[in-house]
Amino acid sequence: MIELKSTMDQKYKKIVMKFGGTSMADIDCVYKVADHIERELSNGKLVAVVVSAMAGETDRLIGLADQVGNIELQSERDVIISSGEQVSSAILSMTLNKRNIPARSIQGWQIPLITNSMHGSARISDIKSSHLEKLMEKGIVPIIAGFQGISEENRVTTLGRGGSDTTAVAIACSIDADLCDIYTDVDGVYTSDPRIIPDAQKLKLVSFEEMLEMASQGAKVLQTRSVELAMSYNMPVRVRSTFSENDFENVKNGTNIGTIVTNEEKILEDKVVSGIAYSKSEAKVTIQKLEDKPGIAAEIFGSLANDGINVDMIVQNISADGKHTDLTFTVQETDLRAAKLVIEGLSDSIKYAKLEDSKDIAKVSIIGVGMRSHAGVAAQMFSILAEKGINIQAITTSEIKVSVLIELDHIEKAMRALHSAYELDQN
């Protein structure tokens, strides 16, 4: 199993603490969040805090915006859906000040956290963090509204769902923190989803690359972009629970708390596969009898990219006559309608017989840095699924990952079989 090296026992002096929606769900939860912050301050830490909106609040705000239905005004939509974090930051600041802990709510535009103008999925271009560091030096805890920034055009932007993770990691990198703690409703990163596989084991350490693959393949613990950022700046991230008593460090060995996402060099591996991830939010699009000629695929996928639609798996089958092809690809279920509109909009320039889609699919992935040095891992995966009578519809791979597309009804059976076959249920 993965082990901690002695280098992980260091004392972190400057930290960023991020609390998600479930951690900020109600006033009782906010009090527990304040307990965590108070503990770290009493231990002599310099602390900055990033918060998400209260659980369910962003969905409520999205619903309000959707009732109006003017999708052309994405900038106004961002103003609406970013307001939940503003409320959270102020409530937590008020709670801390009531305990005589100096704190101040800070919105994205006040830092400022500068982004591009891609409303709804903006990317961070710069952070002017001197104001935050001055507050921390004065003993004032900045309570930063996550998920939001400001564009060069001076408009509020949002970073996409889960964007508070990215805010937290970006702030940690900007202020040169020693650690970014992500508090959530789980106590770490597991070999698979414990709700489906009760024998799933908590990992003490996981590499940036493994976590990136897990996040991109469906694991909900961290947002993909936050892991990319942490890897780029070598910022260790710890996933830990807001609600577990263990996280109040009532144990002698504090390194048992949570899961630390760090460099591959700090990980001792003896398992080829570290985890099984899955996604039920996939949708499949098939373009039947598409003309098979140069430039068609580039036009299709270029048009999808221009509309901000990410394509995952791609399968192409050439017909017997050599003149046509069936092209299948997967997108996020939320992007299905937009993807179909893009393809239909290309009907004058590309010729095809039929456009089909399906939501009754799922993706399951095996992930591990040990796959780099072991042959036959994919073949073993395919054999295991075949033994269970599970048909594979599409395959995609990387150095440390193999993903397959299967019928949605088979996802739990597939995960249990793979988790057991790769001995992930053993300590």
Q: Greatest CA separation found in the chain?
A: 78
Predicted local confidence at residue 125, as pLDDT: 95
Average pLDDT over residues 371-376: 85
Lowest mean pLDDT among 204-213, 262-271, 327-336: 262-271
Instruction: Single out the residue in 266, 301, 334 at which a domain terminates.
Output: 266
**pLDDT above 80 (res 216):** no
Instruction: Single out the residue in 266, 301, 336 at which a domain terminates.
Output: 266
Identify the CATH number of the domain in which residue 122 sits: 3.40.1160.10
Which residues are within 8 A (CB) of 410 and not within 5 positions of it... i.e. 6 or more apart? 362, 388, 390
Predicted local confidence at residue 215, as pLDDT: 81
**pLDDT above 50 (res 54):** yes
Task: Say if 2 falls within a structural domain.
Answer: no
Task: Say if 69 falls within a structural domain.
Answer: yes
* Same domain for 288 and 251: no
**pLDDT above 70 (res 371):** yes
Predicted local confidence at residue 281, as pLDDT: 86
* Same domain for 205 and 72: yes
* Same domain for 282 and 217: no
Q: pTM, whole model, 2 decimals?
A: 0.81
- Reported as a pLDDT band with limits 50, 70 and 90, residue 30 is very high
Structural domain that includes position 92: 11-266
Average pLDDT over residues 269-294: 87
* Same domain for 402 and 364: yes
| Contact of 368 with 400, CB cutoff 8 Å | yes
User: Omega of the bond prior to 112 within 30 degrees of 0, cis?
Assistant: yes
Task: Say if 88 falls within a structural domain.
Answer: yes
Predicted local confidence at residue 1, as pLDDT: 30
Which residues are within 8 A (CB) of 214 and not within 5 positions of it... i.e. 6 or more apart? 189, 206, 221, 275, 277, 365, 367
**pLDDT above 80 (res 254):** no
Over the stretch 258-269, which tens digit does the pLDDT of each residue have? Answer: 999 988 766 655
Average pLDDT over residues 62-82: 88
* Same domain for 299 and 210: no
* Same domain for 193 and 81: yes
3-state secondary structure of 122: coil
Helix, strand, coil % (nearest 5) of the chain?
A: 40, 25, 35
Task: Say if 229 falls within a structural domain.
Answer: yes
Predicted local confidence at residue 427, as pLDDT: 66
Predicted local confidence at residue 218, as pLDDT: 63
Average pLDDT over residues 29-43: 95
Task: Say if 4 falls within a structural domain.
Answer: no
| Contact of 108 with 150, CB cutoff 8 Å | yes
* Same domain for 62 and 203: yes
* Same domain for 406 and 290: yes
| Contact of 259 with 208, CB cutoff 8 Å | no
Pick the closest to residue 179 from 122, 267, 257, 251 (CA basis).
257
Rounded (10°) angle between helices 57-68 and 74-81: 150
* Same domain for 226 and 325: no
Predicted local confidence at residue 162, as pLDDT: 86
Task: Say if 136 falls within a structural domain.
Answer: yes
Task: Say if 319 falls within a structural domain.
Answer: yes
* Same domain for 207 and 240: yes
Predicted local confidence at residue 251, as pLDDT: 46
Average pLDDT over residues 157-174: 94
Identify the CATH number of the domain in which residue 281 sits: 3.30.2130.10
- Reported as a pLDDT band with limits 50, 70 and 90, residue 5 is very low
| DSSP class per residue in 97-109 | HHTT--EEEE-GG
Mean pLDDT for the chain?
Answer: 89
* Same domain for 387 and 345: yes
Task: Say if 201 falls within a structural domain.
Answer: yes
Number of domains observed in the structure of the chain = 2
C-alpha to C-alpha distance for 328 and 313, rounded to whole angstroms: 8
DSSP H or E stretch at residue 384: helix 377-387
**pLDDT above 50 (res 12):** yes
Instruction: Single out the residue in 266, 289, 309 at which a domain terminates.
Output: 266
Predicted local confidence at residue 302, as pLDDT: 95
**pLDDT above 50 (res 6):** no
* Same domain for 171 and 255: yes
